[in-house]
Structure 1
Amino acid sequence: MAKARRSNDWGFPRWRGYGSSREATNVRLCDRHGCEEKGDCPAPKAPNSPDRWYFCQKHAAEYNSKWDYFEGLDKAEKEARAKSERQESAGYAEASHYGWTGSGDGSRSADEMRALDLLELEADADHAAVKKAYREKAKLVHPDVKPGDKEAAAEFQKLQVAYEVLKIAEVRREWKG
């Protein structure tokens, strides 16, 4: 009688890699006719259906590009479904300010992003665009142009603060780099 050999897969350290077992593994192929790629991207066959197609990445992207979540619904049903979806996800939108990232590439602070929003600029705006936008907006609400208008004066002060924040950040970036 042959002595049973101990497997290399016991204990620590593992003497063989984690994906290197010798048993055959089942690989599901893409459900697209004629495709021989691995089908690891599930896609629903119909709205609210548990049945799934399994496509390769290429065919999943093709399938999803044509997918209409509201297909087959009339206008009132579409609006009702969209409204319920917004209500269900409202908590996520409300808590979005807790996220690690916001718009932009991460190189700007939250104060800088608020200043850019006030000047109606994109997150990647350079200092020349900031200066131009500030001057255009400041000309409209300057106290010399609108004397005695408290709202215009408050808006002008907001623009000044926004410009200062962005100017200081630009100087800091130049100094560091």
Structure 2
Amino acid sequence: MVGARRSNDWGFPRWRSYDATEREAVKVRLCDRHNCSEPGDCPAPKSPNNPDRWYFCQKHAAEYNKGWDYFEGLDKEEKAARTASEQSENAGYQESQHYGWATSGDGTRSADEMRALDILELEADAEFAAVKKAFRARAKEVHPDVKPDDAEAALEFQKVSLAYDILKSAEERREWKG
């Protein structure tokens, strides 16, 4: 038994030294932003409809995407056609909107909420108290009891009411999640 060597791993294979192949350097793509030494693991298109990609770190990807306009260079009809096309292609993901990760923009407001805020003439970051105040003010102006024979006022009241309902249900969802 003179030639037998005793193992130092006590039966645990990861306690012994790693092979030389496991010690090789791993190639990491760096961020494409000048003078950034972070790993570039977030691909971003160089221009609309271009297969070429930049590879940024998370910080620079967020900075790059902040000013991104997906519809750049398209007229109103082309923009509507592309929106309709992508909505039909992604209809299977519509269910995920319930969970709050299929919203537009920065993720705080959906497109419907943004349109409702436009109807109430409010900014995108308006609090719900401001929504309620704007709704009440507009409703007092165009309510059918105030303008009984005005069809345009009745239509406007319906728009304002629907906008408020959309924003109210979104606020309730956020409170329920929070």
TM-score range, shorter chain: 0.3 to 0.5
Higher alpha-carbon Rg: 1
State TM-score, norm by structure 1: 0.46
Higher helix share: 2
State TM-score, norm by structure 2: 0.46
